[in-house]
Amino acid sequence: MNDYLFPALPISSMNSILRRGIEDDFLYRRWTLRYAYGAGNAVSPNMAVDFCNTSDPLVLLGNEMGEIKVIQSRVPSETDYANDLPVIPWKMMQRYPDPIYDLQWAPDDESFAAAVADNHVYVHCSRRSHVLCCLGHHQKNVFSVSFQPGEREILATAGADGDICLWDLRTCGTNSLKNSPTTVISKAHNSTSRPMTPRSRMMATHTSSVSTVQFLRTGRDHLLASIGQPDYAIRFWDTRIIWGRNSTPRPAFEIMAPQVNRPRGRKPSLYSSI
């Protein structure tokens, strides 16, 4: 919850103390009912969230049980506190047998993309919730999806196989075997400008992964930022360039992670997200 929805109030009188108690109780009920989704008494934590781009206060939620829900959110009023209104209504959009790693609305909110733990990305219609496209190039879990600003047909995906894929959804359908990305940046974070030891080079072949991709906003929306292993750098790719099969994709520029001397056996947590 941000400060806009519930501004901090100084506790200086009995009225303010009562008001804070009402707010705390309201937040507790919303948190409990909103996130305790599952079969029976099981609690399924949410793993992905995205806010819509239009004026409608809609929020996408994806959880560990593979459920995708849309929540109608709004700023609570004084009447809500007084009348003790129930939790904000929600709608089940889709249920998958695998966890949801990432969600993102299209720029016009008419569709949304879901990265599912079955190595596929599914693009759904927001109104009828049916599948428009099924993208299946990745060989491991897909961790991140990103629409290009202003373009509902251009989608970037990245995952544990270390590949970044660009898709033109106008050429894709529901059969993942017939869909192929327009551009593939293979092992996007394997090559590095730093000198690599034989041991680090060997580990790079086994730990190559891209955790996050994100298009930059208007004005630089041709640039795609990514973060991944093993170099933990922030790389920016110019999506206007078409790389051939025999050429090695190179980032437009990059921000290298600082060198950290850490004990053996401890994994670094630098730049886990953009």
For residues 30 and 140, membership in a common domain is answered with no
Question: pLDDT tens-digit profile of 225-239?
Answer: 999 888 788 999 999
Q: Is residue 264 part of a domain?
A: no
Q: Where do runs of H (alpha helix) occur along 6-155?
A: 14-35, 78-83
State residue 5's pLDDT score.
39
Q: Is residue 271 part of a domain?
A: no
For residues 189 and 64, membership in a common domain is answered with yes
Q: Is residue 81 part of a domain?
A: yes
For 66, the domain range is: 36-241+249-255
| Count of domains forming the chain | 2
State residue 15's pLDDT score.
47
Q: Which residues have C-beta within 8 Å of that of residue 133, sequence separation ≥ 6? A: 121, 122, 123, 167, 169, 172, 173, 174, 179
For residues 81 and 21, membership in a common domain is answered with no
For residues 25 and 72, membership in a common domain is answered with no
pLDDT range class, residue 266, cuts 50, 70, 90: very low
State residue 202's pLDDT score.
54
The rounded distance, in Å, linking the Cα atoms of 122 and 48 is 14
The enclosing H or E element of 263 equals none
Show the tokens assigned to 143: 């961790």
Question: pLDDT tens-digit profile of 137-179?
Answer: 999 999 999 999 989 999 999 999 999 999 999 999 988 888 9
For residues 9 and 84, membership in a common domain is answered with no
SS3 166: strand
For residues 20 and 79, membership in a common domain is answered with no
State residue 33's pLDDT score.
40
Q: Are the C-beta atoms of residues 231 and 256 closer than 8 Å to each other?
A: yes
Stated pTM of the model: 0.72
232 CB neighbour count, 10 Å cutoff: 19
The rounded mean pLDDT for the chain is 76
State residue 267's pLDDT score.
46
SS3 104: strand
Q: How far from each other are the two terminal CA atoms of the chain, in whole angstroms?
A: 20
Question: pLDDT tens-digit profile of 83-128?
Answer: 555 545 678 888 899 999 999 999 999 999 999 999 999 999 988 8
The rounded distance, in Å, linking the Cα atoms of 215 and 234 is 13
Q: Is residue 273 part of a domain?
A: no
For residues 79 and 206, membership in a common domain is answered with yes
What is the CA 123 to chain-centroid distance, rounded? 14
Q: Is residue 125 part of a domain?
A: yes
More confident residue, 222 or 37: 222
For residues 81 and 5, membership in a common domain is answered with no
What is the CA 29 to chain-centroid distance, rounded? 26
For residues 237 and 140, membership in a common domain is answered with yes
State residue 195's pLDDT score.
52
**CATH number for 126:** 2.130.10.10
Q: Is residue 53 part of a domain?
A: yes
SS3 225: strand
For residues 157 and 31, membership in a common domain is answered with no
Q: Which of 27, 29, 227, 220 is nearest to 143 (CA)?
A: 227
For residues 141 and 227, membership in a common domain is answered with yes
For residues 78 and 20, membership in a common domain is answered with no
Q: Is residue 261 part of a domain?
A: no
The enclosing H or E element of 247 equals none
Show the tokens assigned to 162: 């270390």
